[in-house]
């Protein structure tokens, strides 16, 4: 299962009525932009969040792999484009992206993000949505649309209760959330199993070897990585909880030689407190270098 965000705007009503999402194949210059090319990736069972005028207004499940077909609405029936058949489930309460952007923004990929830094939607059609972003959107949608009556209401006011959990939406949210969590967990477990031996099953910086305190830390984060990069054992290193947090948040980084770089945001007098010093280095492999470089350029503070 993969996740996507589709920016529909004026096309939403027409596409919903046909149970599809649809895009052209090439633009006026004869090129296929990434947001149309991505249509070819969509498969049965994938989940799509539908964005219209600043809000997520529906969720859909893909019913048929992408195929080339005629535009089935407006006056362009002879135009061939990418077609994906989906089952729409409209939200009773839509999710306004700007209202929750502080929670959403940290989960956006640096490349091909559906939303701009101010919370507006980016121009384009179909954008990727990593599992962590999907989980946040599902959580926010669930909070807005799933109703749970208090026990007192159930006991003393059964008659007047009008709003109940929406039978269609609840299982969609539950099943989709569960599958996203499973995909993340299995991927992280596989990543750690492959990565740990490269670092002798101990923290690459301090040598701690208690398994419960060791984390397989990505250099290029999950949200920014391709499926292949997420499982590439050279995309990261094994670190204890303390050093993982410093690396993940960009307070430390490593160069092509494995030498540590410490952010200016950490005072020198605090180095010992954090278990770091400027002469530290990790025994990197050649395959680590491009990932270390990406991390230092994009995450390091």
State the pTM of this model.
0.84
Task: Give the residue from 82, 109, 129 where a domain finishes.
Answer: 129
Structure confidence at residue 76 (pLDDT): 63
Structural domains in the chain (count) = 2
Do both 201 and 118 map to the same domain?
no
Residue 50 inside a domain? The answer is: yes
Structure confidence at residue 174 (pLDDT): 87
Do both 15 and 108 map to the same domain?
yes
Do both 204 and 116 map to the same domain?
no
Residue 278 inside a domain? The answer is: yes
23-81 confidence digits (pLDDT tens) = 999 988 999 999 999 999 999 999 999 999 999 999 999 999 999 988 887 766 678 89
Structure confidence at residue 86 (pLDDT): 97
- Cα 195 to the chain's mean position, in Å? 22
Do both 124 and 228 map to the same domain?
no
Structure confidence at residue 145 (pLDDT): 87
Structure confidence at residue 139 (pLDDT): 93
Residue 239 inside a domain? The answer is: yes
CATH number of the domain at 9, please: 3.10.590
Structure confidence at residue 149 (pLDDT): 46
Task: Give the residue from 78, 110, 129 where a domain finishes.
Answer: 129
Residue 139 inside a domain? The answer is: no
Residue span of the structural domain in which 23 resides: 3-129
User: Cα 257–263–269 angle (5° rounding)?
Assistant: 110
Q: For the chain, which ranges sit under pLDDT 70?
A: 75-77, 147-167
Residue 150 inside a domain? The answer is: no
The 3 state secondary structure assigned to the chain is CCEEEEECHHHHHHHHHHCEEEEECCCCCCCCCHHHHHHHHCCCCCEEEEEECCEEEEEEEEEEEEEEEECCCCCCCCCEEEEEEEEEEEEEEEEECHHHHHHHHHHCCCCCCCECCCCCECCCCEEEECHHHHHHHHHHHHHHHCCCCCHHHHHHCCCCCCCCCCCCHHHHHHHHHHHHHHHHHHHHHHHHHHHHHHHCCCCCCCCCCCHHHEEEEECCCHHHCCHHHHHCCCCEEEEEHHHHHHHHCCCEEECCCCEEEECCCCCHHHHHHHCCCCCCECCCCHHHHHHHHHHHHHCCC
Task: Give the residue from 129, 162, 179 where a domain finishes.
Answer: 129
Taking phi over 0 as left and psi of -120 to 50 as alpha, with beta for the rest, 219 belongs to: alpha
Residue 208 inside a domain? The answer is: yes
Do both 7 and 116 map to the same domain?
yes
Residue 141 inside a domain? The answer is: no
Do both 215 and 288 map to the same domain?
yes
206-228 confidence digits (pLDDT tens) = 999 999 999 999 999 999 999 89
Do both 22 and 118 map to the same domain?
yes
Residue 134 inside a domain? The answer is: no
Structure confidence at residue 267 (pLDDT): 95
Structure confidence at residue 168 (pLDDT): 77
């Amino acid at each position: 299962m993969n996740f996507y965000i589709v920016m529909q705007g004026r096309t939403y009503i027409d596409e919903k009525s046909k149970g599809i999402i649809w895009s052209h194949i090439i633009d006026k210059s004869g090129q296929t932009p990434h947001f149309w090319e991505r249509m070819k990736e969509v498969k049965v069972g994938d989940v799509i969040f539908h964005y219209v005028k600043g809000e997520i207004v529906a969720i859909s499940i893909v019913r048929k792999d992408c195929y080339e077909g005629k535009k089935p609405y407006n006056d362009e029936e002879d135009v061939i484009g990418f077609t994906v058949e989906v089952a729409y489930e409209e939200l009773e309460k839509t999710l306004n992206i700007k209202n929750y952007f502080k929670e959403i923004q940290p989960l956006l990929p640096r490349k091909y993000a559906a939303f701009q830094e101010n919370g507006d939607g980016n121009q384009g059609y179909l954008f990727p949505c990593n599992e962590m972003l999907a989980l946040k959107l599902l959580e926010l949608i669930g909070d807005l649309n799933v109703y749970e009556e208090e026990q007192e209401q159930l006991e003393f006011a059964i008659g007047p209760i009008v709003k109940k959990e929406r039978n269609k939406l609840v299982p969609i949210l539950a099943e989709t959330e569960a599958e996203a969590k499973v995909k993340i967990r299995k991927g992280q477990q596989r990543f750690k199993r492959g990565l740990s031996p490269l670092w002798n099953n101990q923290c690459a910086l301090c040598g701690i070897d208690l398994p419960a305190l060791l984390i397989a830390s990505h250099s290029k984060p999950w949200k920014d990585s391709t499926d292949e990069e997420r499982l590439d054992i050279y995309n990261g290193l094994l670190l204890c909880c303390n050093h993982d947090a410093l690396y993940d948040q960009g307070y430390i980084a490593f160069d092509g030689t494995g030498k540590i770089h410490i952010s200016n945001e950490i005072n020198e007098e605090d180095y010992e407190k954090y278990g770091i010093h400027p002469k530290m280095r990790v025994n990197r492999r050649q395959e680590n270098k491009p990932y270390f470089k990406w991390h230092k350029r994009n995450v390091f503070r």
